[in-house]
Structure 1
């Protein structure tokens, strides 16, 4: 019975197909190493017709077609050429990629904020005012803090705490005084922001220091403090109703006759001041209070400072879903020089009003997919750019080398 053997090599195996005259093919896989040189030659001497009809041959064609999709073909090791210029470009590329990776990682780990606005529906809450100011030219004995709301009534809150620190000419603390002398006063609602509403009639002024010997002693002490260059630092918290109003720091707490004896006229009241901190609630990350660090020093003049403040209610939501209610604000400053005909005393006014819109600031983190996308973009772009630089440098070096070789041969 005749037979025909067909050898087909696929990978490390050689498939042997035996065709009998009475039946179909019978195949078996045998390792290549078990074949002799003659058997290996017979693999390539087999009939093309028989190979094309064998299952192993068709499988080999499919595998070859699949390999054509390889976008990263490999060359033999001896065909690759490594150059010093390529090493330099590779090191620079690795440094750039490492730097960009660290930058993208930091960018992914940091949070960003989203702002949303809505109508403020809060009612019945108080507005905290954090004050920290220094008056370098006025002693603490002559300064008072007053707060008036839109209704015209001076609000006195049991939780309000205001402190005064006596300062030397150099700014060192010499004593502390607690301000508990905030006295309720009635004012018309349409004059709550006017500095002339306190001293039109001397009979309406506060007389907390007395007249007689007590007044003389106080006048003497204040003049002595002013001669020594004593100043005052006022700080604390005022809790007022969430309506428009103002608070001011001035010498309005003095009896008008006592003030006249001390300063000899309003033109000598120097309300130079430094605002260390002025805020309307706790501070959240990234907040900017425009009056922090403000310095206003007067030389050879006097007058009233007015800060018109627009308060915007704010809620800050952390990633942990913790909510911190606070307030932002914008400010416009106005200075009114004192005139000889003025009957009012210089002061520092903060006139505020609230916005009906509340701003919600939410912390959010970037998605991991966004991080991977940016990382692939920067690293892939750097890799492609370094590859282009390597090819350009290689061509330039090769051209220079050939030109030198040609000139040497000549």
Structure 2
């Protein structure tokens, strides 16, 4: 007996002679179908094995020293850019009045289409006035001059000077700078154009808020004050669109609940407040190009909102504008991806094979 014959003795599935074999169409179909099922199961398990699995962990957030990045793209549909200010404040008492760095404003019509070019909000409007009236031009502040403010070259600088002295401005048309800027025409045409505000804010990683409101704001004795002198409350339409509002850089697949939101506010001069609960999130992924781990620090959030009137149109104590209040969770969600070990592939495949039998 040869070596092949020796090993053949261990064949538990003896083959019948060829004369006794019967091949049928149904048998061929079963064989083909079985092969397809086996291949499908094999490749599906292989794909599942090679696809990294998301893993989420919840830990205490101990990193409070990091700054919080806020990226925004908000449009007022019926209030022009010259009337809007953006302020921030937080629970530590820090306030930033009329934030303009990294903020860009674009005039838009009521349909949201741009009118003219995008302008960076920290561009100094008084430079153009000085250029037309000479390098030595120093506009009058009409009695509101101070040690820190000797000149008022624009209508807004006059309003700020009056606010610093806690004086009330009843009629802007009496000031030369306001007449040259056609401020009365701007008030008269309120509601015919809007403003798109884009950019980013960097604030402390604590509970806080930011708001975009018409009028001028200032701090008086550590109190945040809004001056709405000269505004007709019936013309202040707070309808707006939020194209983007993100707290931190976004990771793949992340969605923000306010992105793409349009709010049509029927009542005039409303105070629209958004309340957001932020959950700090750390997204860790493997960069195949650099063969290293990359980390994205961001925040997921949920939101509710509320609207109420203002003294311009009702007895309510609200301030017309958009207010965004946020609180941070003390817990952090860590999202990471990990590959399955080879034992998972073998175990899963073996389990499915046993089920097919």
Q: Secondary structure at the match of 1:284?
A: coil
Instruction: Quote the residue 2:183 is aligned against.
Output: 218
Relative to structure 1, the CA distance from residue 71 to residue 173 in structure 2 (aligned partners, 3 Å threshold; closer, same or farther) is farther
**Which residues of 2 match residues 183-202 of structure 1 at below 5 A?**
none
1:71-93 per-position Cα deviation (integer Å, ceiling 9, x unaligned): 54433333332211222233333
Instruction: Quote the residue 1:402 is aligned against.
Output: none
RMSD: 3.5
Instruction: Quote the residue 1:20 is aligned against.
Output: none
User: Is residue 78–residue 190 contact of structure 2 (8 Å, CA) maintained in 1?
Assistant: no
Correspondence for 2:118 among 173, 176, 198? 176
Tell me the matched-pair count. Answer: 298
Instruction: Quote the residue 1:364 is aligned against.
Output: 338
Q: CA deviation at 1:152?
A: 3.2
Q: Does 1:89 align with 2:52?
A: no
Q: CA deviation at 1:298?
A: 1.9
Q: Does 1:351 align with 2:315?
A: no
Correspondence for 2:59 among 109, 118, 133? 118
1:56-80 per-position Cα deviation (integer Å, ceiling 9, x unaligned): xxxx8xx89x73xx55443333333
Relative to structure 1, the CA distance from residue 242 to residue 95 in structure 2 (aligned partners, 3 Å threshold; closer, same or farther) is same
Q: Secondary structure at the match of 1:322?
A: strand
Correspondence for 1:237 among 196, 200, 204? 200
Counterpart-to-counterpart distance in 1, 2:86 and 2:304: 21
1:187-240 per-position Cα deviation (integer Å, ceiling 9, x unaligned): xxxxxxxxxxxxxxx947899x8962443512303544633xx22211111001
Correspondence for 1:298 among 261, 265, 271? 265
Relative to structure 1, the CA distance from residue 83 to residue 348 in structure 2 (aligned partners, 3 Å threshold; closer, same or farther) is same
User: Is residue 248–residue 350 contact of structure 1 (8 Å, CA) maintained in 2?
Assistant: yes
Relative to structure 1, the CA distance from residue 288 to residue 12 in structure 2 (aligned partners, 3 Å threshold; closer, same or farther) is closer
Instruction: Quote the residue 2:247 is aligned against.
Output: 280
Instruction: Quote the residue 2:306 is aligned against.
Output: 334
Where structure 2 has 5 or more consecutive residues not aligned to the other structure, the ranges are 125-164, 218-226, 287-291
1:234-289 per-position Cα deviation (integer Å, ceiling 9, x unaligned): 1111001112110011113375223x2xxx22x43111122111111111123232
Q: TM-score, normalised by structure 2?
A: 0.71
Q: CA deviation at 1:344?
A: 4.4
Q: TM-score, normalised by structure 1?
A: 0.63
Counterpart-to-counterpart distance in 1, 2:49 and 2:100: 44
- Relative contact order higher in (CA < 8 Å, ≥ 6 apart): 2
Instruction: Quote the residue 2:216 is aligned against.
Output: 253
User: Is residue 279–residue 289 contact of structure 1 (8 Å, CA) maintained in 2?
Assistant: yes
Counterpart-to-counterpart distance in 2, 1:119 and 1:206: 51
Counterpart-to-counterpart distance in 2, 1:133 and 1:73: 78
Counterpart-to-counterpart distance in 2, 1:12 and 1:122: 72
**Which residues of 2 match residues 145-160 of structure 1 at below 5 A?**
145-155=86-96, 160=101
Relative to structure 1, the CA distance from residue 77 to residue 238 in structure 2 (aligned partners, 3 Å threshold; closer, same or farther) is same
Q: Does 1:131 align with 2:72?
A: yes
Counterpart-to-counterpart distance in 1, 2:84 and 2:266: 20
Counterpart-to-counterpart distance in 2, 1:139 and 1:238: 21
Q: CA deviation at 1:349?
A: 0.9
Relative to structure 1, the CA distance from residue 96 to residue 351 in structure 2 (aligned partners, 3 Å threshold; closer, same or farther) is same
Q: Secondary structure at the match of 1:341?
A: coil
Counterpart-to-counterpart distance in 1, 2:109 and 2:326: 32
User: Is residue 269–residue 345 contact of structure 1 (8 Å, CA) maintained in 2?
Assistant: no
User: Is residue 173–residue 183 contact of structure 2 (8 Å, CA) maintained in 1?
Assistant: no
Counterpart-to-counterpart distance in 1, 2:209 and 2:3: 93
More helix by share: 1
**Which residues of 2 match residues 6-85 of structure 1 at below 5 A?**
10-11=1-2, 67=10, 70-85=11-26
Instruction: Quote the residue 1:395 is aligned against.
Output: none
